[in-house]
Amino acid sequence: MNDRVPEAVIRRLPSYYRQLREMETAGIAKVSSKQLAEKMRVTPSQIRQDINCFGTFGRQGVGYKVSDLKGHIAEILGVDASHHMVIVGSGNIGTAIACYPTFQRDGFVTVAMFDNDPARVGASVGDLKVRHVDEMESFIRNNRVDIGVICVPPANAQEVLDQLISCGIHAIWNFAPVDLSRDRNTILVNTHMSESLQVLSYKLTHQDFR
Amino acid sequence: MNDRVPEAVIRRLPSYYRQLREMETAGIAKVSSKQLAEKMRVTPSQIRQDINCFGTFGRQGVGYKVSDLKGHIAEILGVDASHHMVIVGSGNIGTAIACYPTFQRDGFVTVAMFDNDPARVGASVGDLKVRHVDEMESFIRNNRVDIGVICVPPANAQEVLDQLISCGIHAIWNFAPVDLSRDRNTILVNTHMSESLQVLSYKLTHQDFR
């Protein structure tokens, strides 16, 4: 099934999840595709198509139960389970990720943070103490770790990725503005800050208000 | 022209720009669509199609001059000019943006940072002193500001957006995990950290290695 789910649908799922969580918090029990479509700024048929990628859900003309659909999407996203993360690089981005207010609520728990700078080792970041990157391998071998977050300068990012993979991590969130090579068994999601800003610059230059 | 450029093409442009800059730094003078396609992990015909969205460029069978194509894309992205940014919210994300190593090189200059927390006002972040958000309006009226960056908690984000718009800013980079309403003359680019992480979680759950 998942082979056929378009990347664009996968990218919309977190936004569905957030909308549904907000509705649940607001005490809304049911939602139609039309209402969800308005929130998501897509068409109602797009909503139905997206949700149908993951099996039949809801009934024509009746709409969706908010808590059921939210639970269904949480399961699809894998956010009904917890994930343990290690962060490599304790600079500003690493710190922002370690202290991000909602990750823990969503089951993304940072279990360790590493740096190669002796001046940073031992520093406190949130509830964590920064460890030397030399301890990373033994930490990962002795603790459950699902995701590695790369927050090091571009020149070091490939080396860190290779180390994480050799320790058995195969889900990587990369903030270094560089293309990383990895084997086919490694999942890589990039967040390139500069690229978002350049898209904004494009739209500003061309006055493209999408 | 820009009305017709698909969002997916716009999103690939920063990556082209980065690849071409890296090639230029490496002393590579010419590049074929095939070589660029390999770097970008798309097909050569996709490369030609993308570039042709912005007028004819390069000659069949000859490839592209790296520096010319880079300059052309820089111009399309609007990164050949400088942009002045203000950051609202001086927490971890705001600090990471203010200190991001390559923004200044790419012409994105942070000219001021604001916070509503008296304990943060006056603090140093990189070369900046945090100002009280009450000063924002007069600052923006008296200085050139092109982009507002929202790094405040979700509950405050809409209010900050409205203030920025009322001061005449109409390009917004938002980090608050919330959907913001804005008028049709405002450009909004969102970077939702949780959503990237949830996409990673999806791929990990479904072992989807794209």
Contact A171, A147 (CB under 8 A): yes
- Predicted confidence band of residue B39 (pLDDT cuts 50, 70, 90): confident
Question: What residue in B sits closest to A170 (Cα-Cα)?
Answer: B204
Adjacent-strand bridge partners of A172: A148, A188
pLDDT at residue B59, rounded to an integer: 67
In chain A, which residue's Cα lies nearest the Cα of B197? Answer: A173
How many CB pairs below 8 Å do chains A and B form together? 188
What ipTM was estimated for this complex? 0.89
* Chain-chain contact of A204 with B171 (C-beta, under 8 angstroms): yes
Give the model's confidence band at B60: pLDDT under 50 very low, under 70 low, under 90 confident, else very high.
Answer: low
* Contacts B168 to A, Cβ<8 Å: none
A29 touches chain B (CB under 8 A): no
Interface of A with B in 40-69 (CB under 8 A): none
Q: Which chain B residues are Cβ-neighbours of A108 within 8 angstroms?
A: 197, 201
Q: Residue A176 and residue A155: Cα distance in Å, rounded?
A: 9
Would the pLDDT of A114 be above 70?
A: yes
Contact B100 A92 (CB under 8 A): yes
Mean pLDDT within A147-151: 98
Token pair for residue B171? 């390009």
Total residues found in chain B within this entry:
210
Q: How many CB atoms lie within 10 A of CB B178?
A: 18
B190 close to B203: Cβ distance less than 8 angstroms: no
Compute the nearest-CA separation of A20 from chain B (Å). 12
- Position A184 pLDDT exceeds 90: no
Q: How sure is the predictor about A2, in pLDDT bands with cuts at 50, 70 and 90?
A: very low
Q: Residues 73..112 of A with a Cβ closer than 8 Å to B: which? A: 76-79, 81, 83, 91-93, 95-97, 99-103, 106, 108
B56 min Cα distance to partner chain A (Å): 18
Rounded to an integer, what distance in angstroms lies between the CA atom of residue A141 and that of residue A128? 19
Q: Look at residues A182, A151, A153, A150 and name the one whose alpha carbon lies nearest to residue A165.
A: A182
Contact A76 B202 (CB under 8 A): yes
Q: For B115-170, how does the pLDDT look when each residue is reduced to its tens digit (9 = 90+)?
A: 999 999 999 999 999 999 999 999 999 999 999 999 999 999 999 999 999 999 99
> Taking a contact as any Cβ pair under 8 Å apart, which residues of chain B between 135 and 164 contact chain A?
146-147, 153
Asked if the Cβ–Cβ distance from B187 to A209 is below 8 Å, we say yes
Q: Which of A102, A189, A193 sits opposite B200 (nearest CB)?
A: A189
Number of neighbours of residue A109 by Cβ within 10 angstroms: 14
